[in-house]
Amino acid sequence: MQDTIERHTISAVVDNESGVLARVIGLFSGRGYNIDSLTVSEVDRDNGISRINIVTTGTPMIIEQIKAQLDRLVPVHRVADLTVQGPHIERELALLKVRSSGEKRVEALRIADIFKARAVDATDRSFVFEITGSASKIDAFADLMRPLGLVDMSRTGVAAISRGPDEI
């Protein structure tokens, strides 16, 4: 088995009960797995169902283990590896605070426009930009904003869903 490190996006459908997120996080920390990103939110209030999206890295054997270990947690209904299943969409939202003046301020607005980021707060010395996209798009945007006065950033982590008519 090759030991190449792969990045996988895994979604788990779980009961929205107390402790379920702690179980998932404890599983990753206890067994030494990586978490690049983790998001969780209730998606079906009537049935008390939440969806957890995890971006993780590891060898193929580790990724298999992660899925099997997640699947055996009692409140977990279903685990899907979106990376393996095929085409899927990953989106993340970020808020970036840029503090600058003069040319830099104008340049920040110009780049935000190219990335289709919106200014959601403005003062005479700062902007807060809202940007949605893949994690790499947000990385690229942040890299460009850094020399233009980026002082703070808040990211949601990855939400993911498969393309096409099927669930997950």
Residue numbers of the site for other proteins (CB under 8 A)?
1, 15, 18-19, 22-23, 26, 30, 61, 64-65, 68-69, 71-72, 74-77
CB of 15 to other proteins, least distance (A): 6
| Inter-residue long-range contacts of 69-74, CB under 8 Å, 24+ positions, other chains counted | 69/27, 69/31, 70/10, 70/12, 70/24, 70/27, 73/14, 73/20, 73/23, 73/24, 73/27
CB of 20 to other proteins, least distance (A): 10
Q: Which is nearer to other proteins, 64 or 152 (CB)?
A: 64
Q: Are 53 and 135 in contact (CB under 8 A)?
A: no
**In the beta sheet, which residues pair with residue 56?**
8
Q: Which is nearer to other proteins, 72 or 118 (CB)?
A: 72
> Could you say which DSSP state residue 125 is in?
S
Q: Are 132 and 92 in contact (CB under 8 A)?
A: yes
Q: Which is nearer to other proteins, 3 or 124 (CB)?
A: 3
CB of 6 to other proteins, least distance (A): 15
Task: Enumerate helices (H) and strands (E) in the chain, giving the number of each.
Answer: 5, 9
CB of 150 to other proteins, least distance (A): 37
Q: Which is nearer to other proteins, 26 or 147 (CB)?
A: 26
